[in-house]
Amino acid sequence: MPPSLDVAFVTRAPTEAEELRLALVLSTFCDGSGMNSAGCLPGWRDVERTVAAVFNGRGSENKDVFDVAVSPNGVAYDVGISVKCKNLPSSTAMTGIETTRRVYMELANSPAKFWKALGDAGLTEVDFKGQREPEKFGGSVLDTVYSWHVAAATAHVKNTGRALDLEHSIYLTLSNGTRSKGTENVYQWHSFPLRFADDIHWEFRSPKSLRGLDPKHPSEVLFDWYPFSGGQLKYYPRASDAPFRSKQFTLQRPPAISLFEKAATYFPSEWAKAQALRDDE
């Protein structure tokens, strides 16, 4: 009997060891190598690389639909992970996140791809600005996202010779924020399936944006789409709806290491030569 699929956040909750490895690898980017402006916190690319390393996966290092592909042991197919990360601005964002609060994911920011599919469905910018056919607009937008998943799976087979199982592929989002004003940031992972909820009700916010309401909580927004200003499609599932999650954690703070210090450590003789040449100039 072939082994069953066993991947953290996909078929089960992460183990304590997996959670600790994720936290520690993320913490390495606090040494000054992080992507943010201060260089002391992990940025979005660092988060993707952390997931690839801990899951023993392959990072795309590109703006692909799936940022990481994982080949589970003993299984003849791969699963894709679309990695998202977001700082939640409220000072109490991480307090009670497992009750009614929502995580944030930006799924797309290219309006042209959406408008091509909308045009094929007979929908126009005039229709949108006139706030007509909200359900058709919303349905077409989500169908377009699904089509990207299918195209990515097809390309994966062509490039690797291995199937990509969309049923078990996931969105994995890392949220961070504070529990109260002035406290240290905490982090938490949540995973969600690629398939969105059925029976989403769509309505126009304005002639410039469309929103989809959560069928489980009809007064709460699940999607926002802005077709003219950046083309963002934003997704806000409740954290409590995540099939799997980590515990909240903080990052370790290793000593900051400058690029000069790294160069001197990695290449001591060559660095000494460079310093001597500079002194002679």
Alpha-carbon span 166 to 154, nearest angstrom: 11
Q: What would you measure as the largest C-alpha separation in the chain, in angstroms?
A: 73
pLDDT of residue 198: 93
pLDDT confidence of 43, banded at 50, 70, 90? confident
Confidence at residue 38, expressed as pLDDT on a 0 to 100 scale:
55
**Is 281's pLDDT higher than 80?**
no
pTM for this prediction? 0.91
pLDDT at 3: 60
pLDDT beyond 70 at 277:
yes
- pLDDT number for residue 254: 86
Provide the 10 A C-beta neighbour count for residue 75.
Answer: 19
Quickly state the pLDDT bin for 39 (edges 50, 70, 90): low
Distance CA 224, CA 106 (A): 10
Return the SS3 of 281: coil
**pLDDT tens digit sequence for 181-194:** 888 899 999 999 99
pLDDT tens digits for range 50-75? 999 999 999 988 888 999 999 988 78
Higher per-residue pLDDT: 130 or 35: 130
